[in-house]
Amino acid sequence: DTEGLLRIKEENQKHYRRAQRHQEKKEKIQRHNRKLGDLVEKKTYELKTQYEHLAKLRRTHILELTSVIFPIEEVKTSMRDPADVSSESDNAMTSSTVSKLAEARRTTYLSGRWGCDDHNGDTSISITGPWILLPNNGDYSAYYSWVEEKKTTQGPDMEHNNPAHTISAALCYATQLVNTLSLILDVNLPKKLCNRQVKTQLGNHEFCGENLSRHRFTRAVKKLNANILHLCFSQHVNLDLLHPLHTLRNLMYLVSPDTENLGR
């Protein structure tokens, strides 16, 4: 029993010495981890600072781009609310009639169905100048109506102030701006839209090249709207402000100086 007790004591001493060595290794590893943690925290702060600096540079470039080359503005129209006009002409008009007129004014026939548009008739959005406008409700039917009419009409080209030319130019500029913004923000766009007058896999420029059929035109517009929404999502634009059909209005919210996260 005495010999067994001595052996146990020797084994316990070996375990104790081994435990001390393990404790020293543990403390050494903990000191190393603390140093790495401090280094990671320092690098994280430096990276965050660089991101903030990069965001400011991107924001500056975007604001210069949209103020000098691609200004986007909201253009007020002189159209008056029919409810107001009617109420002035008939003082006996009931409130229900006024509300029905206001509701009718916000109702738009778009792509074969009726829809509600709160901004219809109030404003339009211009790009690169007050003369290049897009319908605020996203109704671009004037373009393919003009294309179909041109196919059946013989003679010289239509007048240059035709709404179809304005729609085509505005969408062309919007495509150029979106592609440039994707480069500045380093955000890959989900849909490919060419903005050069060269032959590509998709043909000429979707909007500034040859006259597009209704199917190709609406497909290109949907791709452009998808790219704009993708950029808006990446910059954390308020979702309540966005509408899937409001091409230039969504762009205006994206590049607005009030967008806090622009450049992130």
- Vertex 141, ends 253 and 189: CA angle to 5°? 40
Q: What is the mean pLDDT of residues 127-148?
A: 79
Q: Which DSSP string corresponds to 19-62? A: HHHHHHHHHHHHHHHHHHHHHHHHHHHHHHHHHHHHHHHHHHHH
Residue with tokens 């430096």: 46
Say if 171 falls within a structural domain: yes
Say if 21 falls within a structural domain: no
pLDDT at residue 106 greater than cutoff 70: no
Instruction: Count CA within 13 A, CB hemisphere, residue 104.
Output: 9
Say if 166 falls within a structural domain: yes
Say if 245 falls within a structural domain: yes
Higher-scoring residue by pLDDT: 184, 205: 184
Say if 157 falls within a structural domain: yes
Q: What is the mean pLDDT of residues 124-135?
A: 84
Range of the domain at 238: 62-70+136-263
**pLDDT-based confidence at residue 192 (cuts at 50, 70, 90):** confident
**Over the chain, what is the mean pLDDT?**
78
pLDDT at residue 62 greater than cutoff 60: yes
Higher-scoring residue by pLDDT: 241, 120: 241
Q: What is the mean pLDDT of residues 175-196?
A: 87
Residue 107 CA: distances (Å) to CA of 76, 82, 134, 184:
19, 13, 18, 38
pLDDT score recorded for residue 183: 93
Q: What is the mean pLDDT of residues 66-78?
A: 82
Say if 95 falls within a structural domain: no
Say if 163 falls within a structural domain: yes
Say how many domains are in the chain.
Answer: 1
Say if 220 falls within a structural domain: yes
